[in-house]
């Protein structure tokens, strides 16, 4: 899908200079797409050129959260210009089907959609490309980690044990495929009373820190449970742009800083690696 050249990931129609970040969660409902969208905007606000691949083909929500209305434009049968919203280039199944329509595709077609999003889209020169993965360790998430070995896995979880234990499973898959784990983001960490400032740990406390310790990686940030995030996300107006002085925005900016500061180099010797018995794979790891 790409090659490494001059410490960049060179695509058919563009390049990625700083990072290919796969945002993952073990289970749905932990705010993975919200984290992807706001983190992308935070990176963009710091002067980076950013794109998003909404790889959650069945459960796409990036267009709704970002307020994307524009559709992709086709140059020809195999070349696509991605729509842009709030300075972010986005490719999502939500640009091709209605928001209320079901995408009834099996694994081979899903893998084909990912390949098209990577190979046929004119991304241009990007600093970061974020991939919003489907929850769990199913075919789509596995295909992405197999075919994009230079990606880094950013794990999103809530503090509760159920979420952290399931999130740990996808991290273990990443380790078996030699995918680097960029860190853990704990979402919905606590609710802070706007009147007295008291913090209520609705979903438990410390789960993200424990998961990061277990995986020997960093806890990049703890994002509060803020009703405004849900409201603005439903309206296509992400909080990070509409309330730049909020505590949540400060956390996202801190996460973006850590990602930029931890940037490594793209190893040209790294190649796709397959789990034994996985689609297209015979090599045991």
Binding residue positions for ATP? 26-33
Who contacts 235 (Cβ-Cβ below 8 Å, separation ≥6)? 67
Structure tokens given for 33: 């797409």
Cα gap 210→223, rounded to integer Å:
16
Where b means 16+ CB within 10 Å and e means fewer, 79-96 reads ebbbbebbebbbbbbbbe
What residue numbers does the annotated binding site cover?
26-33
Cα gap 124→84, rounded to integer Å:
12
Count how many Cα atoms sit within 13 Å of the Cα of residue 185 in the half-sphere of its side chain. Answer: 31
* Cross-strand bridge partners of residue 14: 11, 124
Region of 19 please: left (phi>0), alpha (psi -120 to 50) or beta. beta
Cα gap 272→274, rounded to integer Å:
7
Alpha helices in 139-200 (DSSP H): 139-147, 161-176
Cα gap 32→157, rounded to integer Å:
8
């Amino acid at each position: 899908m790409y090659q490494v050249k001059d410490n960049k990931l060179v695509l058919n129609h563009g390049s990625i200079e700083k990072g290919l970040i796969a945002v993952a969660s073990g289970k749905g409902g932990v705010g993975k797409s919200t984290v992807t969208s706001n983190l992308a905007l935070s990176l963009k606000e710091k002067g980076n050129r950013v794109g998003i691949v909404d790889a959650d083909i069945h459960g796409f929500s990036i267009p709704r959260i970002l307020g994307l209305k524009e559709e992709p434009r086709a140059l020809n049968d195999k070349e696509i210009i991605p729509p842009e919203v709030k300075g972010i280039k986005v490719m999502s199944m939500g640009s091709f089907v209605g928001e209320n329509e079901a995408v009834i595709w099996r694994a081979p077609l899903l893998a084909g959609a990912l390949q098209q999003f990577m190979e046929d889209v004119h991304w241009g020169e990007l600093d970061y490309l974020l991939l919003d993965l489907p929850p769990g360790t199913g075919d789509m998430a596995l295909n992405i980690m197999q075919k994009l070995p230079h990606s880094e896995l950013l794990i999103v979880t809530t503090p509760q044990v159920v979420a952290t234990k399931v999130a740990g499973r996808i991290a273990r898959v990443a380790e078996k495929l030699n995918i680097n784990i960029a860190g853990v983001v704990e979402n919905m960490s606590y609710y802070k009373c706007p009147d007295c400032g008291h913090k209520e740990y609705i979903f438990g406390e410390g789960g993200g820190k424990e998961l990061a310790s277990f995986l020997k990686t960093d806890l990049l940030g703890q994002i509060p449970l803020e009703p405004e995030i849900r409201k603005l996300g439903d309206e296509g107006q992400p909080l990070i742009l509409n309330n730049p002085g909020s505590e949540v925005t400060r956390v996202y900016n801190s996460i973006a800083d850590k990602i930029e500061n931890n940037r490594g180099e793209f190893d040209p010797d790294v190649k796709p690696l397959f789990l034994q018995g996985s689609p297209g794979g015979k090599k045991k790891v």
